[in-house]
Amino acid sequence: MLRSYFVLDSTLSEEHQRVMDQIAFIERVAAEPRFDAHRMVVALWELLEVTNQHFAHEEKAMVDDAFPRLALHRRDHEYLLKALRDYIAAFVDNTERPSASFCDNLRSWIGFHCRRYDEDYSRFSDWRRASGSRA
């Protein structure tokens, strides 16, 4: 597992890895000599689904923990989901091979999000559990 995507909750870390694995798959599909636009659309929708499921799970955990910065965290989730939906819509209209920078940008965003937002939540969640505090 990539260290920069690790958070203290193992389930969330596994979900981060699934998102990263899907991005890597998209990169492989984009690099195939004979580009298959349909396969790319399916891969992009799968990325959106995996990411959306992860965000829903993560946000539920935050609600359960009464995480005080949930709104800020959720806003970042919404930003990425909108960007992915917009990209997919544009791709369906155009069907050109995604650029290498597309996957690089996704990985960069995920890394930033994990370091900035998810680690913050992990620290809070650990503190809550260690202190015996309940939501």
Q: Which pLDDT tens digit goes with each residue over 72-112?
A: 999 999 999 999 999 899 888 877 788 888 888 888 888 88
Q: List, as own/partner pairs, every contact residues 8-13 make where C-beta atoms lie below 8 angstroms and the sequence separation is at least 24, other chains included.
A: 8/122, 8/123, 8/125, 8/126, 9/61, 9/122, 9/125, 11/57, 12/54, 12/57, 12/58, 12/61, 12/118, 12/122
Q: Is residue 112 part of a domain?
A: yes
For residue 1, being part of any structural domain is answered with: no
Which residue segment(s) compose the domain that 86 sits in?
Answer: 9-124
- What is the model's pTM? 0.85
d(CA 134, CA 112): 29
Residue at 2 is within a domain: no
> Which letter does DSSP use for residue 1 in this model?
-
Total of domains in the chain: 1
Residue pLDDT, tens place only, 25-59: 999 999 999 999 999 999 999 999 999 999 999 99
Q: What is the CATH number of the domain that holds 40?
A: 1.20.120.50
